[in-house]
Amino acid sequence: MSSEQQVDPTSPTRPVRVRFAPSPTGYLHVGGARTALFNWLFARKTGGRLILRIEDTDLERSSETMVTGILDGLEWLGLGWDEGPYFQSERLTRYSEVAARLIERGEAYPCFCAPGELASRRAEATDRKQTWKYEGICRSLPRAEAAARLASAEPAAIRFKVPASGSLTFTDHIFSRITTGYEQIEDFVLLRSDGHPTYHLSVVVDDIDMGITHVIRGADHLPNTPKQILLYRALEQQSPIFAHVPLILGRDKSRLSKRHGATSVTAYREMGFLPEAFRNFLALLGWSPGNTDQEIFGAGELIEAFSLEGISRSNAVFNLEKAMWMNAQYMARSPTAVLSRELEPWLRERGLWEPEFAAEGAARLHAVVDLLKSRARSLADLASAARPYLSPSFELEPAAVEKNLRRHEQLKVLIPELADRLAGLSSFDLTTTEAALRELADERGVKAGLLINAARTALTGSGATPGIFDVMVCIGKPEVVRRLRDAVRLIA
RNA sequence: GGCGCUAUGGUGUAAGCGGUUAACACGCCGCCCUCUCAAGGCGGAGACUAGGGGUUCGAAUCCCCUUAGCGCUACCA
């Protein structure tokens, strides 16, 4: 009916203020992380401010450890905020004030109906597949009676008076016009009988108090937005711009949940994702930079390219394969020194960390990282692949041993010979090692590949490695010679 | 059940106001490179744009219906 007047996004008088408002009832979900990212990008893009607010009004389900988990997740993704975190649990009196004011204005009323009773009536109705909404029994209670019962400390919730008929239309920045009939909306609770606000009240009060200009949040909030707009009106405040972001789904297109695999950003960190890569991947889920083929975006480029208009209206399926690809891209492109530093916890976990790695140059570690970074999909991958280069004890892959060593009896003499020749080199580098190996192959009339693959498995236990001469140089002469000699026992 | 939203290859997305052989990326399959594996390069398969009706000279783009998925429908957020 009446179309809402909203904040003009181009108004020079109102600098952009957005917020990320997670509820600490779980770890930072990838969907929440993406919402945070979009808010962050929008704030950076527009020169606005990002406010972090913790919506912990559900005492039962909120916890402090979840709060730190969420903060850690944001920090890991590099999504810094400009204000907060504010906690709704610390603003309780403010919400009751507003609720009281709404009662005074005749926009809300106390409700004495027993929650349990209401719930059972609701359940009964849905069992019969019928619609049921609170019929507003207490709405028509005489003012005096209501006041008396309140005074006698009878528990009461505060409900909002929703217009009996008509409809409300508002413009969402992503979904455009949304219309809802009031008959769909019941007199919803603003304040629980324990004095805690419900989401609708606290979110509106806070967004007003914090001067929020754009509400960028998950599309699961879309159907409830009319309730909130009603509140803005009742409080004689302008509504912010609403921009609802479509949801992230699992493989089977149902809501992303544990059974689809990891849902918390912490889990992706633990898998060995680079935060920049994961952030880049997330940005491309439900948002597109438009008519360009670019997919790899640094933080600056992301900010530059971002706009609300590029956000899609349909839900997106989380594709781990592509996320891994993205991560591999970032791994390969990361400066070796940076990657080496990120690798520390992963190497420690595997007992491969050496104090010398912490030093400036850390040449030995850098050489390994350099060698492996273009073929690792994650930090975990990289750390595992690094073992043969950092430690004399590594696993032998049975299949590789079989294929490259055991099967070839001639290696029994060739491998020790190769070891001798390498041992005799005065300079041990790419050219000298390659020349030594190829000469030997020529002289003995075997293909170089035979020696190369044998050396590969003898030196690393694996059938797939970087170029063999790079491997040799990286491992170093004494250890190369030792491992070759040792490998003879593996040949049939 | 009611209400709302959405619908382009398996997945993520392009294709400004209706006019393209419907593009790119992931994944998949080949080939090249090559000592293996990645990376990289080249090529291929895979979409009558969910289905059906309209409007129009012309529809992935506009309208309607159907279907499907998702969301909301709480003294959760």
| C-alpha closest to that of A77 among A58, A56, A50, A57 | A50
Rounded, the Å distance between the CA of A257 and C1' of B65 is 34
Rounded, the Å distance between the CA of A464 and C1' of B37 is 4
CB-count burial class (<10 Å; 0-12, 13-18, 19+) for A178: middle
Distance (Å, rounded) from C-alpha A240 to C-alpha A226? Answer: 12
Closest nt by CA–C1' to A325: B26
Average pLDDT estimate for A16-33 = 94
Identify the three-state secondary structure at position A424.
Answer: coil
State the pLDDT at residue A3. 42
Amino acid whose CA is nearest the C1' of B26: A322
Cβ atoms of A347 and A386 closer than 8 Å: yes
Amino acid whose CA is nearest the C1' of B23: A293
Amino acid whose CA is nearest the C1' of B76: A58
CA trace torsion A60, A65, A68, A70 (10° rounding): -60
* pLDDT tens-digit series, residues A51-99: 999 999 877 778 889 999 999 999 999 999 999 899 999 999 999 999 9
Rounded, the Å distance between the CA of A246 and C1' of B25 is 21
Q: Give the predicted TM-score (pTM) of the model.
A: 0.93
Rounded, the Å distance between the CA of A162 and C1' of B29 is 60
Distances from the Cα of A277 to the Cαs of A3, A77, A112, A354, in angstroms?
41, 9, 53, 27
DSSP assignment of A266-299 equals HHHHHHT--HHHHHHHHHTSSB--SS-------H
Covered bases, chain B (protein CB within 7 Å): 1-8, 10-15, 23-27, 35-40, 69-77
Amino acid whose CA is nearest the C1' of B25: A295
State the pLDDT at residue A401. 94
* pLDDT tens-digit series, residues A146-197: 999 999 999 999 999 999 989 999 999 999 889 899 999 999 999 999 999 9
State the pLDDT at residue A98. 97
ipTM value greater than 0.90: yes
Closest nt by CA–C1' to A183: B3
**Active site members of A:** 258
Rounded, the Å distance between the CA of A36 and C1' of B51 is 38
Cβ atoms of A175 and A244 closer than 8 Å: yes
Identify the three-state secondary structure at position A393.
Answer: coil
